[in-house]
Homo-oligomer: A and B are copies of this chain.
Amino acid sequence: MTRPAPDKVKRVASIGAGPIGAGWAAHFLARGYDVTAYLHSMDEEPAFRRILDTGWISLTALGLVPGASRDRLTLTDDLTAAMSDAEFVQESAPERLPLKQALYETLGRIVPPEVVIASSTSGLTMTEIQQKCPSPERTVVGHPFNPPYLLPLVEIVGGARTAPAAVQWAHDFYAAAGKAPLVMKKEIPGFVATRLQEALWREALHMVANGEATPGDIDTALINGPGPRLAVQGQCMAFHVACGEGGMATNLDQFGPALKLPWTRLEAPELTQELRDRMVDGCNIEAAGRHFEDLAAERDRAIVGILQAVAAAKTKD
């Protein structure tokens, strides 16, 4: 058998009954797939269904694909049966390395060899997870962001024994499944989003430890400051657009010295010419020729909508 085309997949298997496993199942069902969910024990069914039903409210609001239905879900505690006709496997088992290694040893045998298996792991690497897997070339990390039925990001990276074709296939499959896939160049701890979030989180802990801010202060600052903007513009584009005609080049040339200031406990890298150019070139690629005023107008329209959406969500309580 050959691997199905990424946009022709019809049957997906999801392993795990927690918020991630059940969240993935909800997402795939909403996108019109047949989903078989493997639970370690059928006792987990009520919790699984509660997450599914919660997710379904949001997924319905965002718009289900024609034909999508919760009736197309099969629940089982028989792993072999769950894997038998899957064309893609999303694994969200507990984050313990020995458990995952043993699981992949089994999956490597019972999942048809052309089928890509993606792990939702946030803290382990695929190089570690695939160590005992007899068919590791089709195993990748496909790391979602919580809640996985709502946030589009999936970070994809292979392990040492993963075939590049499997990484590419996973990218194309997630894109077809309505996700925002991001292929990582290197297998680094925390991937991209969690690393950025973790830097922010550690700085927050420092501030609380030093009595500089309370958790409430930190959340007030985030929700009313960077948060609404980060939903529409990443930090690179935010600075690029804020600096007008000069863009990221102006930002780095003008505020570069600020990188030496103790504005956080995180030491900045040396602002070499090479780093400067990578930042500037990267922002120009992202801007794709659009004028900064055009990008700023889009940002503003989005923030207006974001603020209204947050206010509306709060009034409904």
Interface residues of A (CB under 8 A from B): 19, 54-55, 57-58, 61-62, 123, 145-147, 150-153, 155, 180, 182, 184-186, 188-209, 211-237, 239, 242, 248, 258-259, 261-272, 274-275, 278-279, 282-283, 285-286, 293-294, 296-310, 312-314, 316-317
Residues of B within 8 A of A226 (CB): 145, 193, 196-197, 230
A139 nearest CB across to chain B (Å) = 21
Q: With A216-B285, A224-B153 given, is the CB distance from A205 to B279 under 8 Å? A: yes
A93 to chain B, nearest CB (A): 16
Q: A188-B212, A205-B275, A267-B265 are in contact. Are A294 and B317 (CB under 8 A)?
A: yes
Nearest CB of chain B from residue A117's CB, rounded to whole Å: 22
CA distance A305 to B311 in the complex (A): 10
Indicate if the CB atoms of B219 and A196 lie closer than 8 Å.
no
Question: What would 16 more interface pairs be, CB under 8 Å, given A184-B217, A223-B232?
Answer: A54-B300, A184-B213, A192-B207, A192-B218, A196-B226, A196-B264, A214-B285, A219-B233, A219-B237, A223-B233, A227-B232, A232-B313, A265-B267, A305-B308, A305-B310, A306-B310
Interface of A is mostly: helix
A61 proximity list for chain B (CB < 8 A) = 301, 304
User: Do residues A266 and B268 form an inter-chain contact, with CB atoms below 8 A?
Assistant: no
Report yes or no: A264 in contact with B266, Cβ–Cβ below 8 A. Answer: yes
For the complex of A and B, the 3 pairs showing the least CB-CB separation, nearest first, are: A219-B234, A305-B309, A215-B282
Q: Are B202 and A259 touching (Cβ within 8 A)?
A: yes
Measured between C-beta atoms, what is the minimum distance from A183 to chain B in Å? 9
Which of A145, A193, A196: most chain B Cβ within 10 A? A196
- Chain B residues near A191: list those with CB within 8 A: 221
> Which B residues are in CB contact (< 8 Å) with A180?
220, 223-224
Residue among A212, A261, A274, A316 having the largest count of chain B Cβ atoms under 10 Å: A212
> Is there an interface contact between B215 and A297, defined as CB atoms closer than 8 Å?
no
21 A-B residue pairs with CB within 8 Å: A55-B300, A57-B300, A58-B304, A61-B301, A123-B258, A151-B224, A182-B220, A192-B207, A192-B212, A196-B264, A202-B259, A209-B269, A209-B274, A215-B278, A215-B279, A215-B283, A216-B285, A216-B286, A227-B227, A302-B313, A305-B305
The chain B residue with its CB closest to the CB of A236 is B215
The residues of B that contact A267 with a CB separation of less than 8 Å are: 202, 265
With A306-B231, A308-B309 in contact, do A221 and B202 touch (Cβ < 8 Å)?
no
**Do B232 and A212 have beta carbons less than 8 Å apart?**
no
